[in-house]
Homo-oligomer: A and B are copies of this chain.
Amino acid sequence: MARLSGWEMAATGQPLRPVDRELPAPGPDEALVRVEGCGVCHTDLGFLHEGVRTRHALPLILGHEISGYVEDAGRNLAHLVGQAVVVPAVLPCGECALCRSGRSTICRSQVMPGNDRDGGFATRALLPGRFLCPVPGANGNPDAPLGRARGLTLRHLAVVADAVSTAYQAVRRSGAGPGCLAVVVGLGGVGTFAAQLAAEAGAAVVGLDVDPRRLDAAGSLKVGLALDPRACSPRELRGRIADFGKDAGVPEAGRVILECSGTPAGQQTAWSLLGYGATLMVVGYTMEETPLRLSNLMAFDARALGNWGCAPELYPELVEKVLAGSVDVVSHTKLAPLSSIESVLESVRARREDRRIVLVPGEEAA
């Protein structure tokens, strides 16, 4: 009988508590994943501190950004055993009318680890196995080098489960590509990847953030212009971005804005950058309301598209990009022991971290 050790959330605002328990055998379509890395996302802090409710009742093990190995699987997924995988943060059922019509991100039977059932802040997780994304070239050692990107291991790929893949779907949906200006608002856990992926798609990229460390590092994200939106008036901001677009030879119309900050201030900045035919991708999350002139969408014939997770079918091509080094994950990721989860969560909450933290099970692992 497999066991897990981990940390569970019992109530809003309370410290996590250690948990150690037996796991049932996988059902026919389930896989038991040995967690090698689990990223810490702002969504986890939303559950823990901001009153965002988990869909499964508490107590619950949080964490939805998982990479690892399939240790055991149900009879329909026996071929997965031993496979290194990235676990998509949103696992649709694959069977309902929405899934069959290509709208799997709104599948009402979807399972998000650490929200609909126990997640990855633990040594193991029992999950729907159908859409786990195999990692080509991985061997049994989670610390072995992977692909062509220096320092990349299976543990780092945890962030592909949500931060990188959410950015990827958002960039794809936005239509950002050659001859397009893309403005990324918030160069944090998701924005760092959105900027790289927009540039990789061929767009000229502007990055906005209020943190000078992030602005200094923006060059490595292939950001052509990095600005603190508080350092100038909204009008000046629009002017500087327009000038950058002119220099880059991209048209004013059809701009893409990727709101990744998940803050009211970031949302207002993003909204103020709407222009003719613009596409605003709403990627970050905040429960707060923001005063907006909604009619600007009409006046500019523009659109605002929400982006929830990433459809599983996009993961294999994205993992290829990461393995090929087209998207730099290593520089934006820091590994930390799962046993340090409490101090890590505090540090992320205080915005002291400039990288995405991946928690790595150590002594807890059996």
Contact = CB atoms under 8 A, between A and B. Distances in A.
Given A97-B251, A297-B305, A303-B304, A106 B276 contact: yes
- Number of identical monomers bound together in the oligomeric complex: 2
Contact of A294 (B277, B282, B295, B308): B282
A267 interface: yes
Which size bracket describes the interface of A in this complex?
35 or more
Given A282-B295, A282-B298, A290-B294, 8 more contacts: A262-B295, A283-B298, A289-B291, A291-B291, A292-B292, A294-B304, A299-B306, A302-B306
A358 B295 CA distance: 25
Interface of A: 97-98, 103, 105-106, 108, 251, 253-254, 259, 262, 267, 271, 276-277, 282-309
A307 B298 contact: yes
A241 B292 CA distance: 26
A207 B117 CA distance: 39
Nearest to A295: B285
B306 A301 contact: yes
Contacts of A295: 262, 267, 282, 284-287, 306
A264 to B, nearest CB: 8
A351 to B, nearest CB: 19
Nearest to A290: B294
Contact of A304 (B108, B259, B283, B297): B297
In this complex, which of A295, A302, A308 has the most chain B Cβ atoms within 10 angstroms of its Cβ?
A295
A108 B276 contact: yes
A299 B285 contact: yes
Contacts of A294: 259, 267, 271, 282, 290, 292, 304
